[in-house]
């Protein structure tokens, strides 16, 4: 790795850094990517999620929930690049984004759930808790079972046991973590 100034190295850690949110990219990795990998600390929730992914059932929807900037996209990108999960799961890294300029995030989730079938690969979604609540209120009627599972999750007293399960939905939440 070539020499990186302290200012540039610390910039990788800043929330405003292009490295703060991980996305799937096909660009050539550089020394900042290497630095980010060296600085990465695996969280307990990632270990729990991976343990669960090893036994996930077809058609299941697995939500990785939390606040903005807590590492959801980093964890999901790491899972997506893991050969154990690449072909076995469908991934939606950031549920606050839509697929088209005139499409809302709620519409994008409606489309995602409409195209997801009980016999298909498990679906792994990174989603902010606020967007989860918005979908529970505003999602399409045809997704009432998913909306109800989300409502149950949001209403449940969260404890240390993960995941919270309802119907074919599982929820891993950053919130109960210190």
User: Domains of the chain: which residue ranges?
Assistant: 55-173
| pLDDT given at position 73 | 87
Asked whether residue 151 carries a pLDDT value surpassing 70, the answer given is yes
Residue 79: CB partners within 8 Å, gap ≥ 6? 49, 50, 53, 85, 89, 91, 124
User: Whole-angstrom Cα distance, residue 109 to residue 128?
Assistant: 13
| pLDDT given at position 169 | 96
Q: pLDDT digits over 23-39, tens only?
A: 555 557 666 667 666 66
Asked whether residue 41 carries a pLDDT value surpassing 80, the answer given is no
Residue 43: CB partners within 8 Å, gap ≥ 6? 71, 75, 177
| pLDDT given at position 54 | 95
| pLDDT given at position 39 | 67
Handedness of CA 152, 153, 155, 161 (dihedral sign): positive
Mean pLDDT of the chain: 83
| pLDDT given at position 59 | 94
User: pLDDT-derived band of residue 166, with 50, 70 and 90 as boundaries?
Assistant: very high
Which helix or strand (DSSP H or E) is residue 149 part of?
helix 144-155
Residue 178: CB partners within 8 Å, gap ≥ 6? none
| pLDDT given at position 79 | 92
| pLDDT given at position 42 | 79
CA distances from 57 to 75, 114, 120, 130, 145 (A): 20, 18, 9, 27, 17
User: Whole-angstrom Cα distance, residue 149 to residue 96?
Assistant: 19
- The contacts found for 38-42 with CB under 8 angstroms, 24 or more apart, are 39/12, 39/13, 40/74
| pLDDT given at position 96 | 76
Asked whether residue 80 carries a pLDDT value surpassing 60, the answer given is yes
Instruction: Name the percent of the chain lying above pLDDT 70.
Output: 76
Asked whether residue 21 carries a pLDDT value surpassing 90, the answer given is no
| pLDDT given at position 74 | 87
Name residue 164's beta-bridge partners. Answer: 171
| pLDDT given at position 53 | 96
Asked whether residue 126 carries a pLDDT value surpassing 90, the answer given is yes
């Amino acid at each position: 790795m070539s020499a990186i100034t302290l200012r540039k190295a610390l910039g990788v850690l800043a929330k405003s850094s292009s490295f703060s949110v991980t996305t799937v990219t096909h660009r050539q990795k550089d020394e900042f990517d290497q630095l980010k990998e060296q600085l990465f600390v695996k969280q307990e929730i990632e270990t729990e999620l991976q343990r669960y992914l090893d036994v996930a059932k077809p058609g299941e929807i697995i939500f990785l929930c939390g606040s903005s900037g807590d590492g959801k996209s980093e964890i999901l990108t790491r899972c997506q690049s893991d050969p154990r999960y690449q072909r076995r799961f469908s991934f939606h890294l950031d549920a606050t984004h839509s697929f088209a300029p005139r499409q809302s995030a709620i519409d994008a989730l409606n489309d995602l759930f409409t195209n997801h079938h009980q016999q298909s690969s498990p679906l792994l979604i990174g989603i902010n808790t606020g967007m989860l609540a918005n979908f529970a209120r505003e999602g399409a009627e045809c997704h009432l079972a998913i909306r109800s599972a989300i409502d149950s999750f949001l209403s449940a007293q969260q404890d240390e046991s993960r995941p919270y399960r309802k119907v074919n939905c599982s929820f891993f939440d950053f919130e109960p973590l210190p």
